[in-house]
């Protein structure tokens, strides 16, 4: 088999098998926690799902920035058409990919330009549009990765952190062709403080709680019948970040370094293409240990003359 992870990649079951065996056994081999909170871009809160034990509770979820309809439908069609002119390489967990970036050995922390010729020409306009976003001020992408997901291949991506030796603070992704859900999970031993929400979906009462020994950390009623904050283990929380078609999402801060991100197979209903841009870490930026190599890679990247490596 040509795939890099024969246990997870659905094509391994054989060309004549209409529904791959992996499609049935993967939930047993790779259990995925159910989303029990949903991120609200308008408030910046992760709100407990109505069908979960956390209904009526919420907590601040910083580090996610979402822009709907970042590009037009015509721009989307043109981008995907240009991508499809190049080969897609088989990747893990039912995905295909196209990489535009330097040659990296993350394990040994080795990096060189290799056959990197820059980001593709069609990304020049996208990168220029990013400058209008306040959270992307000074963002200079040095790498672009296109990922192709389809339900027929059982495409998914396990919860993970992106590397932070080479890649910087902000991860930027453009979601194309269909909606999906980014699932955020945390392995930390920490606890999260939940607050009751008002009928308007805001934290209630706003910003202040009077704790008593009787209700501290319990979620029970305190003085005057007001619910006290409630503590929950971080490991029990999975936050769904809905990604509409053509939306741009930025992960930074806690959403980048504390929370893993992944996409469940059940959230790939149609073909989906994700375009992810990454910037350099401080080590490869101005004043960093490998500043000169960083400059070289950025010069190549921003020539916008690249082909997939």
pLDDT in tens, 55-68: 999 999 999 999 99
Predicted local confidence at residue 34, as pLDDT: 87
pLDDT digits (tens, 9 = 90+) for 128-178: 999 999 999 999 999 999 999 999 999 999 999 999 999 999 999 999 999
pLDDT, mean of residues 284-302:
97
* E strand or H helix at 127: helix 124-130
Contact 64, 251 (CB under 8 A): yes
Nearest to 143 by CA among 304, 278, 298, 291: 278
Predicted local confidence at residue 202, as pLDDT: 72
Nearest to 13 by CA among 148, 30, 23, 93: 23
Q: For residue 205, say if its preceding peptide bond is cis, omega within 30 degrees of 0.
A: yes
Specify the DSSP class assigned to residue 4: S
In whole angstroms, what is the distance from residue 282 CA to residue 286 CA? 7
Contact 116, 303 (CB under 8 A): no
In whole angstroms, what is the distance from residue 143 CA to residue 114 CA? 13
Predicted local confidence at residue 8, as pLDDT: 46
In whole angstroms, what is the distance from residue 227 CA to residue 218 CA? 9
Q: Are strands 238-243 and 37-40 parallel, antiparallel or unpaired?
A: parallel
Max mean pLDDT among 109-118, 196-205, 242-251 falls in: 242-251
Domains of the chain: 20-61+197-234 (no CATH), 63-186+237-309 (2.60.120.590)
Predicted local confidence at residue 199, as pLDDT: 66
Nearest to 59 by CA among 154, 184, 163, 174: 184
User: Could you tell me the two tokens for 240?
Assistant: 């769904």
For 122, phi then psi, to 5°, come to: -70, -10
Arithmetic mean of pLDDT over the chain: 87
Predicted local confidence at residue 219, as pLDDT: 53
In whole angstroms, what is the distance from residue 193 CA to residue 56 CA? 13
pTM for the model stands at 0.84
User: Could you tell me the two tokens for 191?
Assistant: 């606890």
């Amino acid at each position: 088999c040509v795939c890099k992870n024969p246990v997870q990649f659905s094509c391994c079951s054989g060309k004549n098998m209409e529904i791959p065996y992996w499609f049935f056994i993967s939930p047993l081999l790779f259990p995925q926690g159910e989303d029990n909170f949903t991120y609200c871009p308008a408030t910046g809160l992760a709100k407990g799902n109505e069908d979960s034990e956390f209904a009526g509770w919420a907590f601040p979820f910083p580090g996610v920035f979402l822009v709907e309809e970042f590009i037009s439908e015509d721009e989307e069609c043109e981008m995907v058409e240009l991508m499809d002119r190049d080969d897609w390489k088989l990747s893990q967990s039912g995905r295909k990919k196209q990489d535009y970036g330097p040659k990296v050995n993350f394990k040994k922390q080795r990096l060189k330009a290799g056959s990197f010729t820059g980001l593709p020409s069609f990304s020049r306009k996208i990168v220029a549009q990013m400058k209008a976003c306040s959270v992307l001020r000074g963002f200079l992408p040095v790498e672009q990765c296109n990922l192709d997901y389809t339900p027929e291949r059982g495409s998914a991506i396990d919860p993970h952190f992106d590397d932070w030796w080479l890649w910087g603070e902000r991860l930027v992704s453009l979601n194309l062709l269909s909606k999906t859900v980014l699932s955020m999970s945390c392995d930390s031993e920490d606890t999260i403080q939940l607050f009751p929400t008002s009928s308007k979906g805001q934290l209630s009462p706003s910003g202040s709680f009077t704790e008593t020994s009787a209700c501290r950390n319990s979620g029970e009623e305190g003085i005057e019948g007001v619910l006290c904050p409630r503590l929950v283990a971080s490991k029990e929380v999975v936050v769904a970040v809905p990604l509409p078609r053509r939306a741009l999402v930025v992960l930074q801060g806690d959403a980048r370094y504390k929370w893993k991100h992944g996409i469940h197979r059940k959230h790939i209903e149609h073909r989906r293409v994700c375009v992810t841009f990454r910037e350099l870490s401080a080590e490869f930026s101005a004043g960093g240990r490998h500043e000169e190599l960083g400059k070289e890679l950025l010069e190549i990247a921003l020539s916008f003359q690249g082909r997939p490596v």
